[in-house]
Amino acid sequence: MAEKILIVDDDVDTLRLVGLMLQRQGYEISAATNGQQGVSKAIEEQPDLILLDVMMPDMDGYEATRQLRQNPITATTPILMFTAKTQLDDKVAGFEVGADDYLTKPTHPSELQAHVKALLSRTSQRERKNVEAQGKRGHVTGVIAARGGLGVTTIAINLAAGIYTRVQSDVAIAEMIPGRGTLGLDLGVTGQKALVKFLNGTPSDVTRERVKNALVPHISGVKLLLASDSPMDVHLINQVPQYEAIFTRLAGLNRFVTLDFDSGLPPFAQKLLPMCDDVVVVLEGVPNTILHTKSLIESLIKLGIRKDRILAILNNRVRSDTQLPAAVVQDKLGHPITITLTPAPELLTQATRMQTAAILCQPDGVTAKQILKLVDHIMMNEAPGA
């Protein structure tokens, strides 16, 4: 697949000439005629490289670079500044706001090609090292509950967002139940059916490039693989080989992956959960739910999952005297409670309204601290020999 270069320049002749020259070298070209349009296109299209002019009206290249570096989606995208300015101070200013390289107009085509090739090669090597640093695949965490309605998806997206705040690296979350997609609706992403498309195909259709292209970027920095919300799609739950291929591709593309298994143990979940590095089990402090969760944990252990990699999360969603204390829940469950989430209905409502993870709405709040405690626990498990 051709690497994409976004050219941002208010000079139409420059856009045409540089774009044509790079297109002839096999690159896919996208163009923007001002800084604001360039920032928007970069976030939407996620190019492999941004070629950015400095001298533009309204928003110059320096301000565009600042905004790109502040957005998690484009924070690490290589930027080559391209300008008629020759003063050393101007170049220093470019590097200070986050540019990776600098060329002065006019430049010879071969010089531009060399800089573009070097930047793309450097980025490719860095991405490969990020994956190789973790071994053959990234760290995968499954999130599941004994029954529905316990907040699995909410915990999964906050966990993924929390991990991203720690590592600022490749983090993905995937919904695993076709026909029960809610994550996209909560985060303002509609019409996404990537999981269903893969499950409708063959395992060989689940290629690295297709999975990479199916991941939807979110402002939180987390990439999303979304299920549909059509109940008719639930029959695809039996496509176990396709699920295995999706798991492998996601783990190969990302340093951390969070899988939303919803509830129950269908055949695909029984196959994938033992492949996870951690399994987060969500429950609430209600007697019947505790009994069901105890049975779920026993089943997970029978599947070969180590007990110390099963992380029980007590999710107190409502303020009620009917909720049992954490110590009582732990005693009845017969398994340690890793964290207890205190009720935060107003925060969750705010997060839905803002279409983001709750911990990003109040990064210094109690809920964020509780989720980050879980994040730190998982990151310790990522360490070699853990």
**Among 131, 152, 174, which residue terminates a domain?**
131
Mark whether 86 and 151 lie in a shared domain.
no
In the DSSP assignment, the letter for residue 215 is P
pLDDT of residue 85: 64
pLDDT at 131 (0 to 100)? 44
Euclidean distance between CA atoms 93 and 118, whole angstroms: 22
**Residues 195, 331 share a domain:** yes
| pLDDT of 124 | 58
Range of the domain at 372: 135-382
Which domain CATH number covers 116?
3.40.50.2300
Question: Residue 134 has what pLDDT?
Answer: 43
Residues 149 and 269 both lie in one domain: yes
3-state SS assignment for residue 184: helix
Number of compact structural domains in the chain: 2
- Which strands, in side-by-side order, build the sheet including 101-104? 28-32, 4-8, 49-53, 79-83, 101-104
Question: 196 and 293: one domain?
Answer: yes
Instruction: Note the pLDDT of residue 89.
Output: 61
Could you say which of 84, 104, 131 is where a domain stops?
Answer: 131
What is the model's pLDDT at position 121? 78
Between strands 223-225 and 216-217, the pairing is: antiparallel
Domain match, 56 and 103 both: yes
What CATH number should be reported for the domain holding residue 341?
A: 3.40.50.300
- Counting as low any pLDDT under 70, the low residues of the chain are 1-2, 85-91, 123-136, 320, 383-386
**Whether residue 231 is found in the same domain as residue 271:** yes
